[in-house]
Structure 1
């Protein structure tokens, strides 16, 4: 049996935007920090902005919609990645106050698991979740008990 894991962990999520400057400003306000990396196209316009966030410094990349795959839908839907949040009610309220629209309301999925999702002003689905297992894994890593 192989010891290599097929899926090692979340590396990057890409969100598409028609207005990159507006998307960069919106996510900078939401996250409380500016992107750590940006790239401009040949015309000098911003085409990519990348943020590092969270306990594991995951990447959130904003990409000019002109570079989306040909089959990509402009409508929200499909898979939802959920970001762990400590206060899901406050985070959902903040997102909606910033102009995001509710995609799925708060859903209590069992003890220690609550989800919700919104559509950001650029058409991307942003999932949020309070996840007790995430916290357990985080605490075990901090305490040095995590085994790969």
Structure 2
């Protein structure tokens, strides 16, 4: 049974450049790197309300084709301000994959997606369900 998001893995031919880009995006440093921070084959970030993990793996270790076109599942991360987050991603060098779309009949579910400079798809979303779960978990 699926219990929750544990780690999202992205691939990049240049892990150091990807790490630097995601450090700018997230506003934090990667907390883990192997074999070293100077020559990483893998880096990992923990962030957000539930300390979700984002790993970036050297593309040479991918079990699928990693190339110049966008690839991967679109995982949507909840954001509080969809327009501002989309603009920030684009300012950092991502390209729009799908502009903002209203999902449902004005239910508050809105999504967009971009392609990072390394070919990974990033979904962003305003999600009322996420906010309700977070509120229910907060004492």
Q: Which residue pairs with 1:17 in the alignment?
A: 12
- In structure 2, the CA distance between the partners of 1:73 and 1:66, relative to structure 1 (3 Å rule), is closer
* Aligned 8 A contact 2:72 2:120 in 1: no
Higher Rg: 1
In structure 2, the gaps of 5 or more residues are none
Distance in 1, matches of 2:71 and 2:108, equals 25
| Structure 1 position 35 matched with structure 2 position 30 | yes
Report the TM-score, using the length of structure 1 for normalisation: 0.87
Moved over 6 A (4+): none
In structure 1, the gaps of 5 or more residues are 1-5, 144-148
Distance in 2, matches of 1:29 and 1:120, equals 12
| Structure 1 position 47 matched with structure 2 position 37 | no
Within 5 Å, which residues of 2 pair with 1:110-125? 110=104, 111-125=107-121
| Structure 1 position 140 matched with structure 2 position 136 | yes
Q: Which residue pairs with 2:126 in the alignment?
A: 130
- After superposition, the CA RMSD in angstroms is 1.3
Q: Which residue pairs with 2:78 in the alignment?
A: 84
Count the aligned residue pairs: 135
